Structure 1
Amino acid sequence: MTEHSPGPVAQVSDLRRRIGGLSLRLRTAGTQIKPAEPRFIDYDKIRLPSGELVGRKKVIVMSGGCSVPTCTMCPFTNFNNYGHDDETSRESLLDQVSRTLTRSEGEPAYEVLSLYNDGSFFAPREIPRNVQVEIARLVAAAGVKRLVVESLPQFVTEQVLGPFVEALEGVRLEIGIGLQSADELVRETLVNTRISQKSFERALSVMAGHGVDPKIYLMVKPPFLSEGEAVSDVVASVDYLTGLGVRGMTLCPTRVSPHTVAWELWQAGQYTPPNLWTVVEAVRLVHERLAVRVACVNLRGSDFESVFPDACPVCADDVVDALMRFGESGDAADLPADCSCRPPLEVTPLDHKVITARAALLLNVLERAGG
């Protein structure tokens, strides 16, 4: 390294700044205000950390969206009223939740409500604190047994969580946190999420003090990683989380959606979503530690345009079906059998120097192309 060359820390800092800037530039607010009604409602079965299989209603309310939309693969800001925060009023949010909780004739039975807002539920810029508590009261009165919301850990504080849990009146709370990776370079630079290890572990401590269950999301193959590095990243992340006593984990294979850094890389021929067999391998390698669930909406979704993880035409649907069965059973026997299309995979340790150099090179490609 010459006298004028930036050191490793400066290189990573510069890379993080450039990736974050590109990610924000790719966001689009749109000019048309979307209706104040949930943009997504679905029903399925979900396995609780205890292993019990229960019915779930999943709802994504229309909101002003994420107040920290820096992640390199997240398309959600393009499907809410991002950039139009004033248009999503307190009354609108409460009305959407109230209508969500009004059980209609013929509605599938559920005891878990996953209530998402395309961002952080506990961020006051997204959902004001008094509205958070009023939503908790609505849920408590509706006979729901478990509520699942999502948030960045910096918004999960004693001052916020205490009144919210009290208003739930015994409804079990689960908070999803998109940690994405236990590796700092992968998490804070390649994924570009605003989560530090300190803020994450502090949030876990606050949650534990209130009997709140953590649900941690881990990415499979974030932008700039290879298939082999992706598996290594998942294994190390699961080891880190189980060491903290976390049992609720969901693997999220990266899907590629417009207006994201991942999409720009894919368009430039520099990135592909993980092969489905890479996802299977990651599940197999961590299964003895934990029967992780795979977010199958990331494998076969319909709520927005995406390029999904894939395999060959012969096995792809069967692999997704098998991962869905495994998500309900947690039984390794439900994982898919092999296929001749399965590419060779060498699990590769994360070499920060190699990954940083690769990411910088690929970012140069995007910047020259006008990304």
Structure 2
Amino acid sequence: MSTSTTDVLDGEKALRHRITVLSRSLREVTAVEHLQKPRYVGYDTVRDADGTTYGRKKAILMSGGCSVPTCTMCPFTNYNNFGLHGANADGLRGQVVTMLDRTDDEPDYDMLALYNDGSFFARREVPADVQVDIARRAAATGVRRLVVESLPQFVTTETLVPFVDALGDVQLEVGIGLQSADRLVRETLVNTRVTRESFEAAVALMQAHNVLPKVYLMIGPPFLTEAEAVTDVIDSTAYVASLGVAGVTLCPTRLAPNTVAWWLYQRGHYYAPNLWAVVDAVRGAHTKAAVRVACINMRGTDFDSVYPDSCERCANPIVDGLVAYSVSGAPADLPTSCECRRTTTPVALDHEHILARTVATLDACEAIA
């Protein structure tokens, strides 16, 4: 007999609490305070949903970390001053001032992406006066577009409007990690504090103020099969497009220490998605909206993590193809074959089945622990 909807929702609530407790228990406070300088600065080319390409300078500021670090896969508390320091106004402002000083030998760029390992519009993380000061300083550089990230609940009239006003003619783009349009996947398996209501309100507010939403979706959340993950990406992309958002950024999951994803991996109950599943997800999503793939760490060289992989013959060519596709938007740039190639056929997301399987997985892993 099928479980009732009420029982499924009650099961989700209990499971969400269980995963939240586990996720928080695995986080580690940094042992040594990192210096107040960006932990990453890099340059690349990105494609807009309308096909326009931009030279981008991307910086990840050293911060006190996310104020709601519950997500099952997020590794960023490993790399910032998580747990030791909250918002360091002078430190954040000083990093931006130094980073914006153009040098003669740096590549030209007209897009600036400033990330803080959390929510830029959360005033516990970036104080209001620092937000506005950063906007003014970015505008003075002459860039055409500024990109920041935030959970949607922090994107409000009170935070967004003063920032947009301070930017003047600079186009603002705000990244939001929706991760999945599916409630169970997003709020329980990924364990993010993003509801559909908060996401849609933030998108509507941004659209009303000519701010571009940049929506991130996961490929391969914990507890899903690869077939379910491909379905989730395709359906989520269609949902985002239905809100008038022209494009999405797909993020293949990597496994990093101090996360639930890593904890499951160590116990043999979760693996990073196969690169061919990533290709299948991209091909399926491509028909719904403009798609980029977040490939910055796909080669597995800059963090202590386990990355999506395939066989030794095709792994690097697949990553090269995903990078090329993210700039061109042309499916012809995606790889098509290898002896190891397996096609992932999307399957429906059965909440009752996924819920039971996730509970069983956690029980099995706790028995091993």
TM over 0.5: yes
Gap runs ≥5 in structure 1: none
Q: Is the 8 A contact 2:293 2:322 kept in 1?
A: yes
- Matching residue of 1:135: 134
Q: Secondary structure at the match of 1:97?
A: helix
Q: Secondary structure at the match of 1:7?
A: helix
TM-superposed deviation, 1:300: 2.1
Identity of counterpart residues, as a percentage? Answer: 55
The 1:259/1:114 distance shift into structure 2, 3 A limit, reads: same
Give the AA of the match of 1:143. Answer: G
What CA distance in whole angstroms lies between the structure 2 residues aligned with 1:2 and 1:46?
Answer: 47
- Matching residue of 2:262: 263
Q: Is the 8 A contact 2:28 2:78 kept in 1?
A: yes
Q: Is the 8 A contact 1:253 1:298 kept in 2?
A: no
What CA distance in whole angstroms lies between the structure 2 residues aligned with 1:202 and 1:167?
Answer: 22
- Matching residue of 2:67: 67
Q: Is the 8 A contact 2:234 2:288 kept in 1?
A: no
- Matching residue of 1:147: 146
Matched, 1:50 2:50: yes
Matched, 1:248 2:247: yes
TM-superposed deviation, 1:337: 2.0
TM-superposed deviation, 1:302: 3.6
Gap runs ≥5 in structure 2: none
Q: Secondary structure at the match of 2:296?
A: helix
What CA distance in whole angstroms lies between the structure 1 residues aligned with 2:151 and 2:131?
Answer: 15
Give the AA of the match of 1:50. Answer: D
Q: Is the 8 A contact 1:73 1:261 kept in 2?
A: yes
User: What does the per-residue CA deviation read over 1:29-76, in whole Å, with 9 as the maximum and x for residues that have no partner?
Assistant: 122101000000110000012211110011000010100000000000
Give the AA of the match of 2:283. Answer: R
Give the AA of the match of 1:262. Answer: A
The 1:174/1:301 distance shift into structure 2, 3 A limit, reads: farther
Count how many residue pairs are aligned between Structure 1 and Structure 2: 367
Give the AA of the match of 2:227. Answer: G
Q: Secondary structure at the match of 1:311?
A: coil
Q: Is the 8 A contact 2:65 2:80 kept in 1?
A: yes
- Matching residue of 1:191: 190
- Matching residue of 1:116: 115
Give the AA of the match of 2:135. Answer: A
TM-superposed deviation, 1:322: 0.5
TM-score (normalizing by structure 1): 0.96
- Matching residue of 2:286: 287
What CA distance in whole angstroms lies between the structure 2 residues aligned with 1:111 and 1:203?
Answer: 25
Give the AA of the match of 1:199. Answer: S
Give the AA of the match of 2:171. Answer: R
User: What does the per-residue CA deviation read over 1:205-250, in whole Å, with 9 as the maximum and x for residues that have no partner?
Assistant: 1101110000000000100000100000011101111111111310
Give the AA of the match of 1:10. Answer: D
Q: Is the 8 A contact 1:229 1:348 kept in 2?
A: yes
What CA distance in whole angstroms lies between the structure 1 residues aligned with 2:368 and 2:77?
Answer: 23
Which stretches of structure 1, 4 residues or more, deviate above 4 A after TM superposition? none
What CA distance in whole angstroms lies between the structure 1 residues aligned with 2:104 and 2:338?
Answer: 44
Q: Is the 8 A contact 1:275 1:310 kept in 2?
A: yes
The 1:141/1:2 distance shift into structure 2, 3 A limit, reads: closer
Q: Is the 8 A contact 1:256 1:306 kept in 2?
A: yes
1:17-28 alignment runs, 5 A limit: 17-28=17-28
Q: Secondary structure at the match of 1:85?
A: coil
TM-superposed deviation, 1:198: 0.4
User: What does the per-residue CA deviation read over 1:306-345, in whole Å, with 9 as the maximum and x for residues that have no partner?
Assistant: 1000011001100000110000000111111211101242
- Matching residue of 1:105: 104
Give the AA of the match of 1:137. Answer: R
TM-score (normalizing by structure 2): 0.97
The 1:236/1:298 distance shift into structure 2, 3 A limit, reads: farther
- Matching residue of 1:336: 335
Q: CA RMSD, aligned part only? A: 1.5
TM-superposed deviation, 1:106: 0.5
Q: Secondary structure at the match of 2:9?
A: helix
The 1:303/1:125 distance shift into structure 2, 3 A limit, reads: farther
- Matching residue of 1:37: 37
Give the AA of the match of 1:80. Answer: N
